[in-house]
Amino acid sequence: MRLEKPVPGGPCWTEVGTGDLEAAKAFYAELFGWRTETDPRREAGGYTMVYLGDAPVAALTPLYQESQPVAWNVSFQAADVDAAARTVSEAGGALLLDPMDVLDVGRFAVAADPTGAVFQMWQPRAFEGAGLFNAPGSLGWVELRTRNPDQARTFYPQVFGWTVSDSERYPQWGIAGADFGGMTTMDDKFPPEVPPHWLPYFAVTDVATTAAMATSASGTVLMEPTTFQDSLRIAVLRDPQGAAFGVYAAS
């Protein structure tokens, strides 16, 4: 990710909904060195911020509805969430949660693109989003996994103004020349029950070491550490509660 801070249209935050908040705290603290702080306010519903030093980098949340899957979610910044929500509908997406205020920190909505991938939109007020990108333990890339890349290529530029590279093998999303994510076409290697989704990638010092740590902490390696383009080292992991995420070697 060449973006160094939240910008309109770009990824600004990621959070995991989990069925065991305490277990998730322990797992990610061991893996990434995260420090956790749970909001004590009742209306916050157990929302737990995670930090590297003083910088907020992600969040852990309880499952707020029975239908909510255990999964990582990616939020994109919107200058006006209400306007973005209307554009989502006009572009063929679906609103899953109408725009709403979140205490005094921002305005929020949940949507699905026409291919079925769920994402979140965030209009900042008191809270801008992640305070650190690209450093070990922080968000470094986001990847759309979809079975209909052509629909996605049309939808996201209309909603967020993204650019998309011409690569058929691995198109990349960008804003004003700064790439922040990519798109993988889901083929028969993906079980049919796996829905289209956004996958966050966190920077780490060593991918193989992180994968081994995840396994020893009862996580799962979904994609073994792999080197692409002679230099990019990545892996895809799953935490003990079932949420998938990626890691890559920070340069």
**CA 234 – CA 225 distance, rounded (Å):** 5
**CA 200 – CA 71 distance, rounded (Å):** 10
Domain of 91, CATH number, reads: 3.10.180.10
Whether 240 maps to a domain, the answer reads: yes
Pairing assessment for the beta strands 118-124 and 71-77 based on DSSP bridges: parallel
Whether 168 maps to a domain, the answer reads: yes
* Percent of the chain residues past pLDDT 90, beyond the cut: 86
Based on the domain organization, do 148 and 231 belong to the same domain? yes
Domain range for 68? 11-124
**pLDDT tens string 159-170:** 999 999 988 889
**CA 25 – CA 206 distance, rounded (Å):** 21
Based on the domain organization, do 203 and 100 belong to the same domain? no
Based on the domain organization, do 143 and 167 belong to the same domain? yes
Position 154, amino acid: T
Based on the domain organization, do 70 and 151 belong to the same domain? no
Whether 152 maps to a domain, the answer reads: yes
Rounded (10°) CA dihedral 25, 245, 112, 152: 160
Position 113, amino acid: D
**CA 37 – CA 46 distance, rounded (Å):** 10
Could you say which DSSP state residue 25 is in?
A: H
SS3 199: strand
Domain boundary among 98, 124, 150: 124
Count of domains forming the chain = 2
Based on the domain organization, do 148 and 113 belong to the same domain? no
Based on the domain organization, do 148 and 205 belong to the same domain? yes
SS3 248: strand
Based on the domain organization, do 120 and 149 belong to the same domain? no
**pLDDT tens string 64-123:** 888 889 999 999 999 999 999 999 999 999 999 999 999 889 999 999 999 999 999 999
Based on the domain organization, do 118 and 163 belong to the same domain? no
Based on the domain organization, do 148 and 220 belong to the same domain? yes
Whether 57 maps to a domain, the answer reads: yes
Position 180, amino acid: F
The answer to whether 59 and 49 have CB atoms below 8 angstroms apart is yes
Could you identify the residue written with the tokens 């289209």? 196
Based on the domain organization, do 114 and 199 belong to the same domain? no
For residue 54, the model assigns a pLDDT of 96
SS3 5: coil
Structure tokens at 132: 């650190």
Based on the domain organization, do 145 and 245 belong to the same domain? yes
Whether 3 maps to a domain, the answer reads: no
For residue 122, the model assigns a pLDDT of 98
Q: Please state whether 26 falls in left (phi above 0), alpha (psi between -120 and 50) or beta.
A: alpha
Whether 222 maps to a domain, the answer reads: yes
Could you say which DSSP state residue 128 is in?
A: -
Domain boundary among 124, 147, 180: 124
For residue 14, the model assigns a pLDDT of 98
Position 187, amino acid: D
Give me the residues of the chain with pLDDT under 50, please. none
Whether 78 maps to a domain, the answer reads: yes
Determine phi and psi for 250, rounding to 5 degrees.
Answer: -65, 135
Whether 94 maps to a domain, the answer reads: yes
Q: How far is CA 40 from CA 29, 45, 49, 232, in A?
A: 20, 8, 11, 40
Which residues is 115 bridged to in the sheet?
none
Instruction: Please choose, from the candidates 63, 70, 21, 74, the residue with its C-alpha nearest in 3D space to the C-alpha of residue 238.
Output: 70
For residue 236, the model assigns a pLDDT of 98
